[in-house]
Structure 1
């Protein structure tokens, strides 16, 4: 299977939220009436944006698990919740449009029976400690709606990845299928794994053999089957940390030249960075042959669009990594995933799929890493600062799939890349 054979582009947005509905909405939440359409609402509250999702399903179940039929969404206007810390009274107003929209989408007689969940990342969940007035205003707006506000689900990273795993396999119809009579039956398919790229970390989530269940794994009962799911954390290898590690290495390799060439950034793109912004915290690694710059020392990083050099540098970063064992060797037997395929959740890979026609992933990454600022901006409305990092992230995923984590593209273990 080619890396270009991707899942629908909306999967990443829906991923964790579908998992919340499947795992949180129980038979106690929704009274059973034969063939009646039911609804559920999930607010996905992240640091940069909030989206309201409506899920729709009938009361038919597959082995005691609901089957979602439709999903629609309403992006909340404005920024993420945390951005209202200085004016908490405005957060309720920002929710009004989408809550009103939801009231129109769901029949009035079912408003009080429709469960409403808040799914928030851990950073957003800290608002009750750092900005209590803002958190209170936000929750008050949800409780005052005509819907049945169930609870706020603060998602830790492992929880979020487990939800992603459920959602990806749900969309792929790996749990069940419809037979010739239109009845739901087990699909018999193997479960897919998920590689999720965050800002600070990467996460590898997969089903493991029951006898090799990891101590920190999750046991899920879905559609009449038990799934032992383990998430392997790879700190220091999210998008932001990869960039910092690369820039730190470049500054050190080029002996503290005030203008530093970055082969992974597009030609003519540049950015000034302070040493402390790229070399701080537990992910920082220092060379031992020269003095460390002062924390406020500024360097001008300029792009040079050199695919070959970029891919070599990224490979070196992976080979020298000490924080993530699955980059350089297969996991131990206790965490070894089943023979499976891994789907990658990454904006960079979605951009690559849309803009580079090559069916070969390595060649596609080289083509992306050779693009100029003009070419990148022409292909997307995303900010240039975001686009500039896509080469680095794509190169990381390429090396991870072919050299870091032992995968066989031609055998039973293969990787499909998708947003």
Structure 2
């Protein structure tokens, strides 16, 4: 820059200090021109100088680009643009530059369209390949036993395993104080006793109206049905009314609320035991066994009855003692029998009734070899004598009886023996348990699980905790029983374990031994087949899981639902097609711009120098 004095004023003049070559391929302006410029000149000044040199009006219609296609901003100074001496710049109409910029814009649109199309394609693949969501079904079972009632909530995938639902217990209620059979005098009051657990059960479920509910009454109600059919029916009607007033799904009131037969109870317990032990397969991963399942036998001890059930393994069994089952595609023919009046509560009443009936001293004190010496038990005759399990051979007056403990193990054994009928087997010698009941051979079954009431006395005497698969010998059982039955009440009271039934455990131990050894045939050689358990992996053993499993056989299969609905899937596929079309169209336009750009670059390379 040169500073000159003109008429006493300073004037700044831009002095050219280097040369730029401008190439133009426009019609009438083809060729290359040298333009002198200074560092402080702008790109717009350079364009104006070129236009002035060639007498071209409207310099604003032009832009300058570098050889690599970069458009130079008009307001920038030449020095800041990095332009150097002798560099070639290319003059284009503004519309040509816009054409090139639009080409890059269409390229971006093509890329975005293809990215969206790829994402939609991935979504379609995921929806098609990914496993569908399982639809779970739910069911509620009320176990109305002789002493209490509990409710259990189960769920299972709607897509069943060979026709049977792989159930899982998700909740259980606390037990009521009494069994429903205790409301025979005032049947309607059973609704009030069940109301708390009905409300709690309902809170567990999201859709109670879609959840089937069942109540199975067992031995307590079976006995009441024999004694007082009208009272039993009234209780069941009251239960149905209580269920109907809720939003639960009660499809068939008569079938959903009923008294189970002893054979049903025994069979359902067998199903439950084998299911919980994974004998049908590992249900947590839906892996069914490949060959005929090797099942275990089930020995259930309730308050009013006891059941024995096991797979007959093709033995010929009288029809009255067999049940046909289909579970997870497997067919079973099981032997089952329920001994009414042989539950722990009823055997106790039958024992005291037996002592009263053979007593010759009227209502005076009665000796009991099964009770500990120093312990006296006073009972009302109305508590002991209840048909059909007990009957009086003396008068029918209401009387009070006092039983005096003797702590006599051998005497207790003989007293309990008289509660069974070991004679008169209609199926031939050696083919009955007791009371003329058919009993097949146990040789084909490797293991039996004894649960519920079987566990109370043996766990108290520390033979097993009933929480693990622990075994003990028959000799250990005999020694523990004899040692306990010969203790005085003072000695028993000093045992640290708190148990309000410890006074009756001697009698129960003798009863269990008579039932298992002399009745079922678990002698010293095959006692090892027995395992006493109260629960398996936290699941309490009982008939309720087996009942729910069998019910699932009759419920419809619900197929898994897709991740998205059909309408949304169709929309995604349509969008995929649309964006693929857009991507192809934008790519073709971009290719057109790319060819034009390549042609322009080639033109730059072969342009002649001036």
Normalising TM by the smaller chain, what interval?
Answer: 0.7 to 0.9
From 331, 334, 342, give the equivalent of 2:448. 342
Matches within 5 A, 1:8-407: 34-75=133-174, 77-84=176-183, 90-107=189-206, 110-121=207-218, 124=221, 126=225, 129-130=230-231, 135-150=236-251, 151-177=256-282, 183-186=287-290, 189-199=293-303, 201-210=305-314, 212-216=316-320, 217-234=322-339, 237-240=342-345, 242-244=347-349, 246-247=351-352, 250=355, 256=361, 258-272=364-378, 294=395, 296=397, 299-315=401-417, 318=420, 321-322=422-423, 329-331=430-432, 335-337=440-442, 339-340=444-445, 341-347=447-453, 349-357=455-463, 359=472, 360-373=476-489, 375=492, 379-382=497-500, 386-407=501-522
Rate the CA distance shift 1:132–1:343 in 2: closer, same or farther, 3 A: closer
1:40: Cα distance to partner? 0.8
CA contact (8 A) 1:266 1:370 kept: yes
Rate the CA distance shift 1:400–1:89 in 2: closer, same or farther, 3 A: closer
- Provide the residue aligned with 1:416 in structure 2: 531
Q: What SS class does the counterpart of residue 208 from structure 2 fall into?
A: helix
Provide the rounded CA distance (Å) in 2 between the counterparts of 1:57 and 1:283.
40
Moved more, 156-165 or 95-104: 95-104
Aligned length: 374
CA contact (8 A) 1:205 1:232 kept: yes
Higher Cα radius of gyration? 2
Structure 2 unmatched runs, 5+ = 1-131, 465-471, 535-610
CA contact (8 A) 1:76 1:94 kept: no
Rate the CA distance shift 1:226–1:371 in 2: closer, same or farther, 3 A: farther
CA contact (8 A) 1:365 1:394 kept: yes
CA contact (8 A) 2:239 2:257 kept: no
Q: What SS class does the counterpart of residue 271 from structure 1 fall into?
A: strand
Rate the CA distance shift 1:103–1:344 in 2: closer, same or farther, 3 A: same
Moved more, 41-50 or 236-245: 236-245
Q: What SS class does the counterpart of residue 66 from structure 1 fall into?
A: coil
CA contact (8 A) 1:195 1:343 kept: yes
- Provide the residue aligned with 1:15 in structure 2: none
Computed over aligned residues only, the root mean square deviation of the Cα atoms, in angstroms, reads 4.0
Structure 1 unmatched runs, 5+ = 1-32, 287-291
Provide the rounded CA distance (Å) in 1 between the counterparts of 2:249 and 2:411.
55
CA contact (8 A) 2:184 2:232 kept: yes
Kindly indicate which of the two structures has a greater share of residues assigned to strand.
Answer: 1
Rate the CA distance shift 1:415–1:325 in 2: closer, same or farther, 3 A: farther
CA contact (8 A) 1:196 1:346 kept: yes
1:50: Cα distance to partner? 1.9
Q: TM-score, structure 2 length as denominator?
A: 0.52
1:220: Cα distance to partner? 0.4
Moved more, 409-418 or 276-285: 276-285
1:208: Cα distance to partner? 1.2
CA contact (8 A) 2:301 2:451 kept: yes
Rate the CA distance shift 1:368–1:118 in 2: closer, same or farther, 3 A: same
Q: What SS class does the counterpart of residue 206 from structure 1 fall into?
A: strand
Moved more, 407-416 or 116-125: 407-416
Provide the rounded CA distance (Å) in 2 between the counterparts of 1:269 and 1:305.
9
